[in-house]
A and B are shown apart, each in its own frame.
Chain A
Amino acid sequence: GAGVSQSPSNKVTEKGKDVELRCDPISGHTALYWYRQSLGQGLEFLIYFQGNSAPDKSGLPSDRFSAERTGGSVSTLTIQRTQQEDSAVYLCASSLGAGRTDTQYFGPGTRLTVL
Chain B
Amino acid sequence: KNQVEQSPQSLIILEGKNCTLQCNYTVSPFSNLRWYKQDTGRGPVSLTIMTFSENTKSNGRYTATLDADTKQSSLHITASQLSDSASYICVVKGAGSYQLTFGKGTKLSVIP
Which positions in A face B, CB cutoff 8 Å? Answer: 4, 31, 35, 40-45, 48, 50, 56, 91, 93, 98, 100-101, 103-109
Contacts and interface: CB of A to CB of B under 8 A. Distances in A.
Interface in B26-41: 31-32, 41
Nearest to B98: A98
B47 to A, nearest CB: 10
Given A4-B43, A91-B43, A103 B49 contact: yes
Contacts of A109: 41-43
Given A100-B31, A100-B32, A108-B41, A45 B46 contact: no
B4 A42 contact: yes
Given A31-B98, A45-B100, A100 B93 contact: yes
Interface residues of B, number: 21
A77 B16 CA distance: 42
Contacts of B31: 100
A112 to B, nearest CB: 14
B99 A106 contact: no
Interface stretch (B61-69, B78-86, B102-110): B102-110
11 contacts: A42-B4, A42-B101, A42-B104, A50-B98, A91-B43, A98-B98, A100-B32, A100-B93, A101-B51, A104-B100, A108-B43
Contacts of A44: 102
Interface of B: 4, 31-32, 41-46, 49, 51, 89, 93, 98-105
Contacts of A91: 43-44
**Most B CB atoms within 10 A — which of A41, A50, A103, A104?**
A104
B98 to A, nearest CB: 4
A93 B32 contact: no
Contact of B46 (A31, A35, A50, A103): A103
Contact of A93 (B41, B42, B43, B89): B43
B98 A43 contact: no
A106 B98 contact: no
A46 B36 CA distance: 19
Given A40-B104, A100-B51, A48 B98 contact: yes
